[in-house]
Structure 1
Amino acid sequence: MSIPDVQIYPHATGAAAETVAKHQEPQELVFWAGWFCPFVQRTWIALEERGIPYQYKEVNPYKKEKHFLDINPKGLVPAVEYKGKALYESLILVEFLEEAYPTHKPSLLPSDPYERAVTRIWLDHIGKNYLPAFHRLLQAQEPEQQAKAREELYEAQRKLVQHVKGPYFSGETFGIVDAAVAPWASRDWIIAEHRGYKRSGAGEAWERYAKALAERPSVLKTNSDNEHLIPIYGRYLRDEAQSEAAKAIREGRAIP
C-alpha cells in the first residue's frame, strides 16, 4: 500500500481527542504533548492510569510556541511544566509523577525495592533492545535488513515476556514496564502491514501480553485514529523521517 507524504495532522483525533477535551482547564501540571508520539503516550498513559489532574497542550512540531521553548529549549515532547518548572524524557516523567503525586493511586512502580530494581532492568532492556529493533525494522529498506531486524525484535519480545507474570508485567497490576511498551504494541499494525511482522512470531505469550496492553483503557483513550498516523509512519517506512529516534537508528546510535 502506498503511503502519502503529508503534513502531520495538527491535533489528536478519535478517543484521544475526547481525552484532550477533558483536560483543557488550567492545572499546576501542564502536559506538553504531540498526539502522534509514542514516547508522549507513555507519560500520557501514566497520567490517565493515576488520575492526576493535568492540562493538555499540543505542541506543533513545525512551529513550537515561544513559551514552550522558553521553559524547554530542547523543544522535546513529552514535557511537563510543574509549578513553572520544566521536565522532559518520558520514563523520567513517569517516575517524577510517582514522587510528585504519591497519594494518587495506583502506583506504577512496585513498593518493594528489589522489585523496583527488576523493573528498571527491564526498562533498560526495552530502551536498548526492544525499541531499537522495532525502529530498525520500521526503517529497513532491503528485505535482508528487514528479516534481520524482525528477528531481533522477536528476540527482544521473547526475552521480555519470559518475565511477564500476566496479564501485565507484574501480574494483575498495570505498571511502568507496561506503560513503556504499550504505545509500540498498539502500533505494531504498521510493521504487520509493511514489514511482515506477526505477534505470533514472538510466541503465544507475547501475543497475549501485546493484546492485553493494546486493549488497556488508558491506552485506548490516548490513541488517535490510525489514518492520521499513516502519513507519519510513511516517512519512517521510506527511511526519510527526521525525528531524533529516526536519525539515531540511521546513524547506528542509541535512541535518545
Structure 2
Amino acid sequence: MSVSRQHLKTGDPNPPLRHDVLRIYSMGFCPFAQRARLVLAAKNIKYEVVNCNLNQKPEFLLERNPAGTVPVLEYQGNVVTESLIICDLLEDLFPDKPLKAKDPFQRAKNRLAVDKFGPIVSLFYKVGYNPNDTEAKGTLRKLLKEYQAFCITKNTNFIGGDQLGMVDLMIWPWIERMHVLGDDIVAEYVPEFKAWIDRMETIPAVQACQISKEKLVQLYAGYFARNAVYD
C-alpha cells in the first residue's frame, strides 16, 4: 500500500494512475473511507491511497464524484463511489479470503446487521456537532444498548459469525471513534461487546488501519468545530 503524504487540495494535480493498481481516494481519518481500506487490508490486496482535503476539494476528486465525498475507488478505468457499494465490489472482484457468508440467508442477515447500525452512524455526527443535545445523546446510548443486545444474541466470536466478516469491518470505524463523544458512552459497553472489541483489535487489518485514541480525539475536536486539520 502507498499513501499520499499530504491531503491534496484545490489546484493540486492528480498523481499518475497505474492501470493495474487499485486506487482509493480517501481522507486520513474518514470512517467511510476506512471501511474500504479495512476490506482491502483484510484481503491483502495491493492498493494505493490518495488523501484529499475535503475543505478544499481537488478538482480531480470532483471530476470522479461531483458530491465530493470519499471513498472513491478507481481501478482499470472504472470509478465507483459509496463505501458499502465499494466494499461489495471488492468482495466480487477479489473473492479470495471471503468476508461474506456462503449461505444467502446468512448474508441477508449480516447485511441487516450493517443496516441496523446506520442510525448509530447518523447519531455519531449529530452528537459530535451538537454535544449539548442531550436528547440525541440519549438516543445514541439507547441504540448502542440495543445493538449490543442484538450482537450478543448471535453468540459468535464476530458479529457475522465465528470468523471476521464484512459486518465487523463495516461498523468498526465508528466503534473505534465512539470515545471521542465522551467516555460516558463507551463506559456502557457490556462485557461481551468489549470482548468483541478486544478481538477486533488483534486483527492485522484493523491494526494496519488504526488511529490512536489520542490522535482521534485531537482530530475530531477540530472536525466537529468545522475546522478540521488534515495535515
Scaled by the length of structure 1, the TM-score of the pair is 0.73
Q: Give, in whole Å, the separation in 2 of the partners of 1:231 and 1:63.
A: 20
Partner residue, 1:15: none
Partner residue, 1:178: 168
Among the aligned pairs, what percent are the same residue?
24
Partner residue, 1:144: 134
- Per the TM alignment, residue 232 of structure 1 is displaced from its structure 2 partner at its CA by 3.3
Q: Is there any run of 5+ residues in structure 1 with no aligned partner, and where?
A: 1-8, 12-23, 244-256
Moved more, 62-71 or 144-153: 144-153
Residue identity opposite 2:200 in structure 1: L
Moved more, 206-215 or 131-140: 131-140
Q: From the superposition, tell whether residues 146 and 126 of structure 1 become closer, same or farther in structure 2 (CA, over 3 Å).
A: closer
Partner residue, 2:185: 197
Partner residue, 2:36: 43
Residue 99 of structure 1 is aligned with which of 92, 96, 112?
92
Residue identity opposite 2:107 in structure 1: R
Q: From the superposition, tell whether residues 25 and 236 of structure 1 become closer, same or farther in structure 2 (CA, over 3 Å).
A: closer
* 8 Å Cα contact 2:160/2:166 also seen in 1: no
- Per the TM alignment, residue 182 of structure 1 is displaced from its structure 2 partner at its CA by 1.1
SS at match of 1:141: coil
Moved more, 145-154 or 117-126: 145-154
| Matches for 1:226-245 after TM superposition, within 5 Å | 226-235=213-222, 240-241=225-226
* 8 Å Cα contact 2:72/2:82 also seen in 1: yes
- Per the TM alignment, residue 72 of structure 1 is displaced from its structure 2 partner at its CA by 1.9
Deviations 1:126-148 (A, max 9, x none): 11x32233334433433733651
Residue 66 of structure 1 is aligned with which of 54, 59, 72?
59
Partner residue, 1:247: none
Q: Give, in whole Å, the separation in 2 of the partners of 1:180 and 1:47.
A: 12
Residue 122 of structure 1 is aligned with which of 113, 137, 150?
113
* 8 Å Cα contact 1:31/1:80 also seen in 2: yes
- Per the TM alignment, residue 214 of structure 1 is displaced from its structure 2 partner at its CA by 3.4
Aligned residues: 215
Residue identity opposite 1:61 in structure 2: L
* 8 Å Cα contact 2:64/2:72 also seen in 1: no
Q: From the superposition, tell whether residues 63 and 198 of structure 1 become closer, same or farther in structure 2 (CA, over 3 Å).
A: closer
Residue identity opposite 1:197 in structure 2: I
* 8 Å Cα contact 2:141/2:185 also seen in 1: no
Residue identity opposite 2:115 in structure 1: D
Residue 213 of structure 1 is aligned with which of 190, 200, 225?
200
Residue identity opposite 1:119 in structure 2: N
Q: Is there any run of 5+ residues in structure 2 with no aligned partner, and where?
A: 8-15
Q: From the superposition, tell whether residues 164 and 216 of structure 1 become closer, same or farther in structure 2 (CA, over 3 Å).
A: farther
SS at match of 1:32: strand
Residue 167 of structure 1 is aligned with which of 137, 157, 167?
157
Scaled by the length of structure 2, the TM-score of the pair is 0.80
